[in-house]
Amino acid sequence: MTELRAVRFSRYGGPEVLHYEPVDDAPTPEGRLRVRVEAAGLNVYDTKRRSGVAGGVRFPAGNGSDFTGVVEEVGDGVAGWAPGDSVLGHANFRAQSDVVRVPAADVVRRPPGMAVEVAGALDLSARTAADLVRAAGIGPGDVVLVSAAAGGVGVVTAQLARIAGAVVLGTAGEANARFLESLGVLPVPYGPGLGERVRRLAPSAVTAVLDLHGRETLEAGVELGVDARRILTIADREAADELGVSGLPQQPPDPAALVRAVELVAAGDLVLPVDSVFPVADVAAAYRHFEGRHLRGKVVLRL
Ligand SMILES: NC(=O)c1ccc[n+]([C@@H]2O[C@H](COP(=O)([O-])OP(=O)(O)OC[C@H]3O[C@@H](n4cnc5c(N)ncnc54)[C@H](OP(=O)(O)O)[C@@H]3O)[C@@H](O)[C@H]2O)c1
């Protein structure tokens, strides 16, 4: 039997506490699939767990949530899957591992031809973006401001809002402006004076704000007179409370959101850019790059 490894950390800290280290193997439990992981994405929440901000971590702790791979074994009681099937999905806080054992409900089929790096990073971004667009009720006639629109979640949010029929403005740095244009998103530089820049660029009044970076975008939304119930943030709850706008409201999960995103990607209608790919052994370097926060899409580990 070959040795299995996984990314783990045994104390809170910076990226240097992450190690790709040997772990014990275990039988595949009933109701689960054993999947050989090929790629796994990085998310902001990983950094909150690892640094101790999120709290409640038991050591040694696994890391990462999105992954893609190939089914190696099907546990008792699981129908519809066979060894050799390609899947993508989530294994919360243990995805960056040679092997994961996941409930079949946590994965969907990976279409042939979908890049492994894209598939390995799609799950959380797709589900979060879909939740935001659904919670705000984005549709035709809307003019939506999305912040950090070239980032891992923002780039999907901006495109799903556009696909829902809205005109979308997205904040980004200069290096990402052209890229957003190529996705049909009007780029707006973030920074002081945001509200005024958006007012000048928007074809008509902004009707919703989906924030993925924080206070500045929420303040711009208030300044632009957007209905406070349609200014949503997943980045700065404190500023939202202070400004009387909304976090992401509790809503039942949409089990079809990931399947829909996979179909859109496969059809070429949704783009998830891969900012960079690191071998799993370089996991600390991957997070150092990720935590610089000037990205185009997702950072991905190859296993
Ligand atoms: N369910 C949830 O609540 C949930 C789930 C997932 C994520 N989140 C949150 O969503 C947020 C975004 O996550 P993510 O994974 O998309 O992050 P990310 O990929 O790290 O975001 C990177 C983007 O942030 C942009 N950025 C950097 N400085 C900025 C500034 N001052 N103003 C506006 N944008 C700026 C960068 O733009 P340039 O490169 O163009 O400079 C880059 O494209 C995080 O706060 C995360 O915690 C919440």
CATH of the domain at 160: 3.40.50.720
Query: β-strand 167-172 against 143-146: which pairing, if any?
Result: parallel
Q: In this structure, is residue 111 part of a structural domain?
A: yes
Closest CA to 64 of 26, 102, 28: 102
Residues 116 and 141 in one domain: no
What's phi and psi for 204, nearest 5 deg?
-155, 180
Q: Can you tell me the distance from the alpha carbon of 98 to that of 153, in angstroms, rounded to the nearest whole number?
A: 25
Residue with CA at minimum distance from ligand 1 atom 43:
151
Residues 38 and 8 in one domain: yes
Q: Look at residue 247 and give its three-state secondary structure.
A: strand
Q: In this structure, is residue 210 part of a structural domain?
A: yes
Q: Which residues pair with 167 in a beta bridge?
A: 143
Q: In this structure, is residue 214 part of a structural domain?
A: yes
Q: Domains in the chain: how many in total?
A: 2
Q: In this structure, is residue 252 part of a structural domain?
A: no
Residues 79 and 181 in one domain: no
Residues 234 and 285 in one domain: no
Q: In this structure, is residue 280 part of a structural domain?
A: yes
Residues 8 and 75 in one domain: yes
Q: Which residues pair with 6 in a beta bridge?
A: 21, 97
Per the structure, the complete domain to which residue 235 belongs is given by: 137-247
pLDDT in tens, the chain (303 residues): 579 999 999 999 999 999 999 999 999 999 999 999 999 999 999 999 999 999 989 999 999 999 999 999 999 999 999 999 999 999 999 999 999 999 999 999 999 999 999 999 999 999 999 999 999 999 999 999 999 999 999 999 999 999 999 999 999 999 999 999 999 999 999 999 999 999 999 999 999 999 999 999 999 999 999 999 999 999 999 999 999 998 888 898 898 999 999 999 999 999 999 999 999 999 999 999 999 989 999 999 999
Q: How far is the CA of 150 from the centre of ligand 1 (A)?
A: 8
Q: In this structure, is residue 181 part of a structural domain?
A: yes
Residue 293's pLDDT is 87
Residues 145 and 213 in one domain: yes
Q: Can you tell me the distance from the alpha carbon of 67 to that of 144, in angstroms, rounded to the nearest whole number?
A: 30
Residue 1's pLDDT is 58
Q: Which of 215, 248, 293 has most ligand 1 atoms within 8 Å of CB, for mutation?
A: 293
Q: Look at residue 220 and give its three-state secondary structure.
A: helix
Q: In this structure, is residue 291 part of a structural domain?
A: yes
Q: Can you tell me the distance from the alpha carbon of 245 to that of 234, in angstroms, rounded to the nearest whole number?
A: 12
Q: In this structure, is residue 264 part of a structural domain?
A: no
Residues 154 and 86 in one domain: no
Q: Which of 42, 44, 48, 178 has most ligand 1 atoms within 8 Å of CB, for mutation?
A: 44
> Radius of gyration of the chain from Cα atoms?
20
Q: How many CA atoms lie within 13 A of 230 on its CB side?
A: 17
Q: Which atom of ligand 1 is nearest to the CA of 125?
A: 6
Q: How far is the CA of 180 from the centre of ligand 1 (A)?
A: 15
Residues 238 and 288 in one domain: no
Residue 284 · residue 16 · CB < 8 Å = yes
Among 208, 231, 247, identify where a domain stops: 247
Residues in contact with ligand 1 by the CB-under-6-Å rule are: 43-44, 124, 128, 147-148, 150-154, 171-173, 176, 190, 212-213, 234-235, 248, 293-295
Residue 115's pLDDT is 98
Residue 276's pLDDT is 98
Q: What is the DSSP string of 145-208?
A: EESSTTBTTHHHHHHHHHHTT-EEEEEE-HHHHHHHHHTT-EEEE-STTHHHHHHHH-SS---E
